[in-house]
Amino acid sequence: DAMKMPRLEEVANVVLRVPSILVLDMLYKCDIDSFTDHLKARTEDMLFKYKYVIWNMYYLGHIVSAMVLLLPLGHIIQLYLHVLCALLLYMGHQIVRDYVRDEAQYGYDGALFLDPPALNRFVTALTSQIIVSTLCAFLMRTQHVWLFSAHLLPLLARVVSVRLDWLLSLSSVAMMITGAEVAVFLLANFFVPYRLARAAYREIMVTELLRLMAVGVSVWHGFAVPVLFSVFWYVLFGVQLVTNYGTVTAVQQGPLLYLLTSVSECCASPYSLLGLTFVVSYTALGLLSLCKVYLGGFSALQNHNVMHRGVTEGVTLLLLALQTGLLDMASLQRCFLLFIILFIVLTSTLQSMSEITEPVVLGLGASRNRSVLKHLRGLSMCGFLMVFPGFMAYKISQIFSMDFWLLILASSCMLTSLQVTGTLLIYSLFMVEVWRGAALPGLDEIVYYVNGVCRVLEFAVAVCVVAYGAWESLWGEWSWMGASVIIIHSYCNVWLRAQSGWKSFLLRQEAARKISVLPRASTEQLQDHNDVCAICFQDMTSAVITYCGHFFHGTCLRKWLYVQETCPMCHASIKPSSANPKAAADEAPPTHQNPPPSEQQPSPETHQEEEQGSQGDSDETDYKYSN
């Protein structure tokens, strides 16, 4: 029971705040201007007073709803208990009023025990009033049941055979007594909201800026804002589905368009748009988590990546909706625009799934994993990510006419399929190496060129998109938004990619130049050295000698030089220490190469396992650096 209480508090913390957001959402959708324009009054002065009252009630509704939303959980529970108690008292008043009217229509004012129908009505009304009074006392946590028993006055008067025309007056008196009790309670607690606001203001004023940010984060988690707005949106969406279900419009639209229309109707206010943002974020997180579980089991969920938690998808939807003015559009326009925005979000989710799948599939190929099921899972996910984006691009091109925005969407799908294709090609090279049982000659260069071709194609697609957008802006409809998108697209997808590719090319050229000037170890030197490469821990049938006298495989040292320009063993610069590099190599002592403890040769028991995985690790490292 102790463990269930915190869970119940979390549920109550969300459920009890949802009505406040629903009220705020309804108030936002209310067209007060149109309502006040249709008001009629005898004089202009009365009309002004009516409008003044309506507008003040409108603003008061916003203030009260916001205050209830921000109340601590304990105060919200107390508020709902008092509201429920007030509803029970009103129900008790209605029960007594109906009883008095029935008695007046029946016309019998004699002793109750002499008339069975009158006695039956009396017992029913009395039982109902006792239950109502007891429930009110229970909700208010008091033993003074008489405080909620004013509605018993007409019943007690009926017991002593009071005239029937007096019973209705006694019912009104009982209602007045109850109203007076409620008024006294409200006056006694009138300044409670003010005291809470003043206490919160004082706490904020004495809090430092950094602590204030921590308080904001604490409030965010304490109110469970993402879950709160998600539940609110699901309630709104469910009401929308139930309201329009079975209508002629819903039948004509079909299930998919009906769902999309319902979603668009549920993002017509800032509150519902924020709720949809969190719903999309949680949906993307669920899809990415399913992808991780499918590829690597439940243990893969422990690898937390901020970019793979659905935040990007939710923020993308919110920014696009605000940028395009989604809230101000008509229903049909909002539906089509939301379709495009959700398409962009789905494309982003598929891109994240591709980023999750790529290292898993390449790791399976490089590590020589023998699990057929894992390979099938990885390949099936790659097949899905290669085919489904193309299918999406084809479908959206069938629905809309080709323009700059559609080209960006289609190109994003094409790039996802292209990246997955490159991953499958590299995986195939790794598997060919496994089937051969020996290292492929020049695998490093092949992997680099495969990645290079994929990057060049991605760059070409980005350039085509920018060129088409610029051509459309010059000869078609020009807008600041389109120009800003072209500029951002040019910088992120053209300039940065070109800069990264050129930098990678220069690094490879520099590494190849340094390797080419290093002396090659002769057979006698390798026999005298009699050691493994300190980078891949494999035997050396050929090697290069650094100017500091260390022996490495040429390919291994080239991969190292992609990242650092120092010797892996002694961290000396890979540069000539004398005018004659050959002389520097001849001066290298033919002793065994003893790396530091963290880099020493593995023990004989584990050497065979490391030898099996080292080549794969080398290939995987080459893939990372060649990017």
Active-site position among 533, 536, 556, 567: 533
220 Cβ contact list (under 8 Å, min separation 6) = none
Residues in the chain: 627
**492: its two tokens:** 């992120």
Topology given in CATH for the domain delimited by 518-626: Herpes Virus-1 (3.30.40)
Phi, psi of 157 (to 5 degrees): -65, -35
Q: Which residue blocks in 206-330 are alpha helix, DSSP H?
A: 209-222, 225-244, 248-253, 255-265, 270-296, 311-324
Residue type, 84: L
**Terminal CA-to-CA distance of the chain, rounded, Å?**
55
H/E stretch holding 545: strand 544-545
533 as an active site residue: the answer is yes
Taking a C-beta distance cutoff of 8 angstroms, is the pair 86, 136 a contact? no
Q: Which residue blocks in 40-72 are alpha helix, DSSP H?
A: 44-70
**161: its two tokens:** 């055979």
Domain boundaries of the chain, sorted by first residue = 12-188, 224-385, 518-626
User: Other CB atoms closer than 10 Å to residue 228's CB: what's the count?
Assistant: 21
pLDDT digits (tens, 9 = 90+) for 533-573: 887 777 778 888 888 888 888 877 877 776 677 788 887 87
| pLDDT at position 351 | 86
Q: Global pTM?
A: 0.72
271 CB-contact burial (10 Å; exposed 0-12 / middle 13-18 / buried 19+): buried
| pLDDT at position 257 | 82
| pLDDT at position 307 | 58
Q: How far is CA 505 from CA 278, 508, 626, in A?
A: 42, 5, 9
| pLDDT at position 592 | 41
501 Cβ contact list (under 8 Å, min separation 6) = 452, 455, 456, 459
Comparing CA positions, the residue from 291, 246, 481, 126 lying closest to residue 118 is 126
Phi, psi of 144 (to 5 degrees): -85, 80
**111: its two tokens:** 């002793």
Comparing CA positions, the residue from 432, 411, 240 lying closest to residue 331 is 240
List, for the chain, all residue ranges whose pLDDT scores fall below the cut of 70.
1-5, 41, 207-212, 246, 248-251, 300, 303-308, 368-369, 402-405, 438-440, 465, 469, 472-497, 562-563, 575-627
H/E stretch holding 35: helix 32-37
User: Residue 309's Cα: distance from chain center in Å?
Assistant: 6
| pLDDT at position 609 | 36
Provide the total of helices (H) and of strands (E) in the chain, helices listed first.
Answer: 25, 2
